[in-house]
Structure 1
Amino acid sequence: MTISDEIRRLHELHQAGALTDAEFARAKERLLNGAPPPAAGDGDLASEFSRLRRSRADRWLGGVCGGIGKASGVASWIWRIVFVLFTISFGFGLVIYILLWIFVPEEERLPGNDIIGKSDT
């Protein structure tokens, strides 16, 4: 694909509303300056999911909602409400929570933080 084809494609995406003015300007500048396109894993859903870890600090049961909250930027209490509502209304919220608890790894401990929440007294 030539640079003119790529700029034409960017213009089509901009006209369709898929790109904001700022995004269009940055992408066009990147193309004209010869910078390589962003990697496939930059900001897509697969890379975000691979970063997902169960929280050690923000947990009630398994740390699933705390981890999803940290990865998504949405407060963990909102995720807890979502899981409760899905459990009450559709019945599958608890199943999804348990599957995430099993398959999502827990975040790693930092050295020196083996005992969290205990005081020296």
Structure 2
Amino acid sequence: MVEGRPLQRSRRHRTLAGVCGGIAGFYGWDPTLVRIGWIVLTLLGGSGILLYLVMWLVMPDGT
């Protein structure tokens, strides 16, 4: 995580809306691992879909 850098959707690591890539970039993680976590949340009750939609609306688009 870079000090002072805001949480924003990624333009570089974008598959659908850039939410997973933005979270991965903010914390310094691999975007693939974040996407796998999202899939697991989705398969374990569907909360991943809701969280993704909320983050898509809340997170600003990256530059």
Shift in Å at residue 57 of structure 1? 1.0
The answer to whether the aligner puts 1:53 opposite 2:8 as a matched pair is yes
CA RMSD of aligned residues (A): 1.5
Identify which of structures 1 and 2 has the higher relative contact order when contacts are C-alpha pairs closer than 8 Å and 6+ apart.
2
Percent same amino acid at aligned positions? Answer: 34
Query: Could you say which residue in structure 2 is the equivalent of 1:14?
Result: none
Q: TM-score scaled to structure 2, two decimals?
A: 0.88
Give 1:73's match in structure 2, choosing from 28, 39, 48.
28
| Aligned-pair CA distance for 1:90 | 2.5
Query: Can you give the 5+ residue segments of structure 1 that lack an aligned partner in the other structure?
Result: 1-42, 109-121
| 2:60 alignment partner, one of 105, 110, 113 | 105
The aligned counterpart of 2:18 is 63
Gaps of 5+ in 2: none
Q: May I ask how many residue pairs the two structures share in their alignment?
A: 61
- Runs of 4 or more above 2 Å deviation: none
Alignment partner of 2:46: what SS? coil
Letter in 1 for 2:46: G
How does the TM-score come out when normalised to structure 1?
0.47
